[in-house]
C-alpha cells in the first residue's frame, strides 16, 4: 500500500485494504483519482449486502487498530450507514465512512449492490473502485436523485469515453425505459428529472425500515447539548461550532438556555451550544446527550473531551468494546 503524509488519506487507503483482508467485497465510489489527498469530509463506498449489518463493528475494529475513534453512527437509509471517525491525537482530523449496499434514496432503489460491485477495478494502493461503466451509472443516478443542474451534469459526464456513455444510455433504457438522446444539457435536462420521477414512483407503499430508524432516533438521539456556562469566551464557543458542526453532527445551533425545542434538535442530530444548563429539560434528556464543559479547558481540550464522550456513547449504543 502506498504511504501518505496526509492522515486522512492514509486512514482511507488502509481501510479499503482492511476490508479486503476481512473478506468483504467493497468498492469506493469517489475520491480515488487524487488518492484521497484532497480535502475530504466523507468517502462513499459500497459493500455486499450481507456485510452491511456488521459494517459498524468492522469500522470500529479498524479505528481501534489505527489509533482513531468511531464517534457517531447515522443510519440515514435502510441500506446505508454513516460512520463518523476522528484521529485520537487530533479530533479535528475527522472523516465519515459512508457505507451502502444497494444505492437508494428515500427507499427508492436506483442501482443494486451486485451491479455496483461488478467488474471492480483494483486501485494501486489496495482496495477497488467502480468500473468506468459502473461509475457513470452511479453518478448519473445520483445527479438525478439530487436534482443536479443539467449543465453541470453535461460538463461532468463529458469526460467519459463514448463507449462508456453508450453503455450508460443502454442501461437507462433497459432498466428505466428512459431514452437519452444525447449528453448535452438539453437532453440531460429531460432524462434526469424522468429518472427521478420513476425512482420516486417505485418506492414501496409500506416499509418498516424507516419507522424503525425514526424510533431509534427518538429513543437514542445522536445530537448533543453542550453546556458552556456564561463565562466561556466567544472565541471558544465559535471554535466549537466551526469544528463540530457538520463534521460530527448534521447541524449546529446556538441557544442561551435549555428549552423544550432542544429535544427535537437532538433527534435531528444537532449539536446545540447553550450558555445555561439545568432545569426540567436537562432532567428529561438522556444522560449521554448532555456534555458540560469545564471553564478551564481550552478549545483543543474541549474537542478532545467531546470526541471521547461521543466515542463512549457510540460504543455503548452499538454494543462495542473500547480498548483502554
Q: What are phi and psi of 71, to 5 degrees?
A: -105, -30
Residue where one domain finishes, among candidates 175, 195, 219: 219
Indicate the pTM of the whole model. 0.89
Q: What is the pLDDT of residue 323?
A: 84
Residue with cell 484521529: 87
Residue where one domain finishes, among candidates 95, 130, 165: 130
In a domain, 323, yes or no: no
Q: What is the CATH number of the domain that holds 9?
A: 3.30.460
Same-domain pairing of 307 and 236: yes
DSSP secondary structure of 248-291? HSSEEEEEEE--THHHHHHHTTEEEEEEE--HHHHHHS-GGGEE
In a domain, 62, yes or no: yes
Nearest CA to 31 among 6, 66, 61, 63?
6
Same-domain pairing of 236 and 204: no
Helix axes 162-176, 132-145, angle to 10 degrees: 60
In a domain, 324, yes or no: no
In a domain, 4, yes or no: yes
Give the number of domains in the chain: 3
Distance CA 50, CA 36 (A): 27
Same-domain pairing of 52 and 71: yes
Q: pLDDT of the chain along its 324 residues, tens only?
A: 555 689 999 999 999 999 999 999 999 998 788 888 887 889 999 999 999 999 999 999 999 999 999 999 998 778 899 999 999 999 989 999 999 999 987 667 889 999 999 889 999 988 999 999 999 999 999 999 899 999 999 999 999 999 999 999 999 999 999 999 999 999 999 999 999 998 887 555 555 555 666 667 777 889 999 998 777 777 787 888 887 877 899 899 888 888 888 888 888 899 999 888 777 777 888 889 999 988 888 888 999 999 999 999 999 999 999 987
3-state secondary structure of 123: coil
Same-domain pairing of 6 and 124: yes
**Residues shown for the chain:** 324
In a domain, 3, yes or no: yes
In a domain, 232, yes or no: yes
Kindly tell me the burial class for residue 37, based on how many C-beta atoms sit within 10 Å of its own C-beta (0-12, 13-18, 19 or more).
middle
Q: What is the pLDDT of residue 249?
A: 92
Q: Could you give the strand order of the β-sheet that contains 42-47, starting from the edge strand earlier in sequence? A: 68-77, 80-87, 94-100, 42-47, 26-28, 128-129, 121-122
Range of 309's domain? 220-318
Same-domain pairing of 138 and 201: yes
Residue where one domain finishes, among candidates 109, 130, 151: 130
Amino acid at each position: 500500500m502506498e504511504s501518505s503524509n496526509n492522515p486522512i488519506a492514509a486512514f482511507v487507503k488502509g481501510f479499503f485494504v482492511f476490508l479486503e483482508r476481512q473478506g468483504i467485497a467493497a468498492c469506493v465510489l469517489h475520491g480515488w483519482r487524487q488518492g484521497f489527498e484532497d480535502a475530504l469530509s466523507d468517502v462513499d463506498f459500497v459493500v455486499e449486502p450481507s456485510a452491511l449489518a456488521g459494517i459498524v463493528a468492522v469500522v470500529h475494529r479498524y479505528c481501534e487498530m489505527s489509533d482513531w475513534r468511531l464517534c457517531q453512527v447515522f443510519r440515514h437509509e435502510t441500506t446505508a450507514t454513516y460512520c463518523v471517525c476522528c484521529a485520537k491525537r487530533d479530533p479535528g482530523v475527522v472523516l465519515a465512512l459512508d457505507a451502502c449496499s444497494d444505492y437508494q434514496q428515500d427507499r427508492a432503489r436506483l442501482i443494486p449492490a451486485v451491479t455496483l460491485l461488478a467488474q471492480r477495478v483494483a486501485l494501486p494502493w489496495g482496495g477497488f473502485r467502480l468500473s468506468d461503466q459502473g461509475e457513470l451509472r452511479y453518478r448519473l443516478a445520483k445527479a438525478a436523485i439530487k436534482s443536479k443542474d443539467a449543465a453541470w451534469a453535461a460538463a461532468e459526464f463529458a469526460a467519459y469515453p463514448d463507449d462508456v456513455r453508450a453503455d450508460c444510455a443502454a442501461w437507462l433504457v433497459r432498466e428505466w425505459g428512459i431514452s437519452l438522446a444525447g449528453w448535452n444539457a438539453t437532453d440531460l435536462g429531460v432524462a434526469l428529472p424522468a429518472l427521478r420521477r420513476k425512482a420516486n414512483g417505485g418506492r414501496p407503499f409500506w416499509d418498516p425500515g424507516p419507522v424503525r430508524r425514526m424510533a431509534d432516533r427518538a429513543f437514542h438521539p445522536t445530537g448533543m447539548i453542550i453546556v458552556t456556562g456564561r463565562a466561556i469566551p466567544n472565541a471558544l464557543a465559535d471554535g466549537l461550532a466551526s469544528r463540530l458542526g457538520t463534521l460530527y453532527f448534521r447541524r449546529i445551533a446556538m441557544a442561551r438556555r435549555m428549552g423544550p425545542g432542544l429535544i427535537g434538535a437532538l433527534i435531528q442530530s444537532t449539536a446545540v451550544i447553550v450558555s445555561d444548563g439545568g432545569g426540567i429539560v436537562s432532567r428529561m434528556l438522556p444522560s449521554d446527550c448532555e456534555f458540560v464543559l469545564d471553564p478551564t479547558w481550552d478549545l483543543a481540550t474541549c474537542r478532545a473531551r467531546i470526541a471521547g464522550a461521543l466515542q463512549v456513547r457510540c460504543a455503548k449504543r452499538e454494543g462495542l468494546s473500547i480498548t483502554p
